[in-house]
Amino acid sequence: MRARVVRVAMIAVSVALVLFAVPLAILVWSSLLTEEQGELERVALAVAVRVGPQFLTGDPVDLPAAEADNTIGVYDLGGRLKSGHGPEVADDVVRQAFAGAAADGQAGADLVVAVPVSAAEHVNGVVRTSAPMSVVWTRAFLAWSLLAALAGAALVVAVLVARRQARLLTEPLEDLSGASERIADGDLGARAEPGDIPEINRVALAHNLMVDRLTQLLERQSHFSADASHQLRTPLSGLLLELEAARAAPPADLPRVLDGTARGLRDLARTVEDLLTLSRQHPEQWLTATPHAAGEVLAAAEHRWHGPLAREGRRLVVDIDADVEGWPVPASLLTQIVDVLADNAARHGRGTVTLTARETSGVLAVDVADEGTMKLNSADVFVRGASSGGGHGIGLALARTIAEAGGGRLTVTRRTPTTFTLYLPPVGAGSRHTRHLDLL
């Protein structure tokens, strides 16, 4: 591209120089020719003043010395050369001067000027001066050579300026192209550097924004399989244990077991759908589902986790304040977060698991606590990949992402006993409660 820019600049400058130099060269030639004619006419006039009527009777005429290659001659009315140098018989230019006015023109290879000699308003003769045309051509060639040198210098300067401007124009584009190639090779951290040219700078910023969004999308999609595996592992294990137990010793209430299995499968389908939505959309666009009452959602969570915790010899206590029973919440959001916190308590905690729902500062607060002690630092517990052992460090990071997607906040409120608190505004009121969440 640099060569193309330089080539375009050279063509533009060359056209401009031609359009300027050709008329200037013609003007120089015309000026030099006019100047030489004027010099010959001045010499002829000076000689005409010195020529008296006596030259017609044969008196000699005192002619001044002519410049090298120039000639001066005086002609009588018969067109014969009386004094000086020139053709013996008057030429066309001399005959034109017999009419009483100065004349000029070319005679062979000479530039000729003729001036009449007058006395008492009568033409008595003609003074003829001439100079070789080669003198004019020599001066013209010198002037044209100077013009050509100036044009060449201008072209060189134009090329240097064009090369510099081409570098300024192409370097940001080359950087953008290089960043795109690195991204195509798998380096998703490559970004185009902003430049000094506003138009190219806007392209670079738009390119970087596009890559940022694509990177976020790819990261969400890459996390989907791990998130889905984490969220499905516990319910799948429970369903598998129930089916194996029913196969080994078919219970009398087999329809109840099958109904429970069907509900579990529906819960799994809902979980997969929620995670797919999270992976495909931006968090700000996630979870715009029809709201449900907080009491109904938490009662469903109690039903799901009572059995798994009971099989481990642990209790589940649910305490929902009456004034938040009908609190509108996005059901899938609250369900996913409570499942993550309950699973975390079941895997890493001990003793009784307590699920509490209350209202504080105009937002819904849901506490999930157990009787254990959190080993990880509070700042690291929500980092993807961080785990106190026996886990993958996915669940709590996913839960915080889901909470923030719904306009809420998930924090560690106590290390001993371990207590996680979810602050969640009512559906459709997230923006009105943002300040309250920041203060909590």
User: In CATH, what number is assigned to the domain containing residue 125?
Assistant: 3.30.450.20
Report if residue 44 sits inside a domain.
Answer: yes
H helix and E strand count, the chain: 9, 12
Same domain, 398 and 317: yes
Residue 420 or residue 198, greater confidence: 420
Angle, helix 198-248 to helix 133-184, in steps of 10 degrees: 20
Same domain, 360 and 298: yes
Report if residue 384 sits inside a domain.
Answer: yes
Q: What is the mean pLDDT of residues 198-223?
A: 77
Report if residue 164 sits inside a domain.
Answer: no
Report DSSP letters for 374-402, one per residue. --S-TTTTTSTT--SSSS-S-HHHHHHHH
Same domain, 290 and 379: yes
Report if residue 274 sits inside a domain.
Answer: no
Report if residue 317 sits inside a domain.
Answer: yes
Same domain, 435 and 292: yes
Report if residue 180 sits inside a domain.
Answer: no
**Is the torsion defined by CA of 192, 193, 199, 200 positive or negative?**
negative
Report if residue 281 sits inside a domain.
Answer: no
pLDDT of residue 286: 46
pLDDT of residue 180: 83
Domain assignment of residue 255, given as a range: 224-268
| Residue after which a domain boundary falls, among 240, 268, 296 | 268
Residue 293: both structure tokens together: 């009452």
At 430, is the pLDDT very low, low, confident or very high (cuts 50, 70, 90)? very low
At 75, is the secondary structure helix, strand, or coil? Answer: strand
Report DSSP letters for 195-245, one per residue. -SSHHHHHHHHHHHHHHHHHHHHHHHHHHHHHHHHHHHHHHHHHHHHHHHH
% of the chain beyond a pLDDT of 70: 82
Peptide bond into 417 cis (omega under 30): yes
Same domain, 299 and 435: yes
pLDDT of residue 324: 92
Same domain, 306 and 406: yes
The CA distance from 372 to 393, in Å, is 18
Distances (CA, A) of 270 to 90, 264, 297: 120, 10, 13
| Three-state SS annotation for 121-146 | CEEEEEEEEEEEHHHHHHHHHHHHHH
The CA distance from 251 to 245, in Å, is 9
Residue 39 or residue 308, greater confidence: 39
Same domain, 209 and 250: no
Asked if residue 332 lies in contact with residue 281, where contact means CB atoms within 8 angstroms, the answer is no
Residue-wise pLDDT tens digits, 226-235: 556 655 666 6
Residue-wise pLDDT tens digits, 231-267: 566 667 767 777 787 778 777 777 777 777 777 777 6
Same domain, 261 and 290: no
Same domain, 238 and 290: no
Cα 73–chain centre separation: 79
Distances (CA, A) of 94 to 59, 97, 170, 319: 21, 5, 68, 131
Count of domains in the chain?
4
Same domain, 193 and 299: no
pLDDT reading at 289 higher than 60 = no
Residue-wise pLDDT tens digits, 353-372: 999 999 998 899 999 999 99
At 421, is the secondary structure helix, strand, or coil? Answer: strand
Q: What is the mean pLDDT of residues 70-86?
A: 87
pLDDT reading at 36 higher than 70 = yes
| Residue after which a domain boundary falls, among 150, 177, 208 | 150
Provide the CATH number for the domain around residue 345. Answer: 3.30.565.10
Same domain, 8 and 103: yes
- Residue 282 DSSP label: -
Same domain, 303 and 292: yes
pLDDT of residue 432: 44
pLDDT of residue 407: 78
Provide the greatest CA pair distance for the chain. Answer: 164
Average pLDDT, the chain: 81
Weakest mean pLDDT among 29-38, 279-288, 330-339:
279-288
Weakest mean pLDDT among 172-181, 189-198, 260-269, 384-393:
384-393
pLDDT reading at 383 higher than 90 = no
Report if residue 163 sits inside a domain.
Answer: no
Q: What is the mean pLDDT of residues 4-33?
A: 86
Distances (CA, A) of 98 to 39, 61, 86: 21, 19, 17
Report DSSP letters for 133-182, one per residue. HHHHHHHHHHHHHHHHHHHHHHHHHHHHHHHHHHHHHHHHHHHHHHHHHH
List CB contacts of 47: < 8 A, sequence separation 6 or more. Answer: 63, 64, 72, 74, 115, 127, 129
Asked if residue 51 lies in contact with residue 75, where contact means CB atoms within 8 angstroms, the answer is no
Residue 267 or residue 225, greater confidence: 267
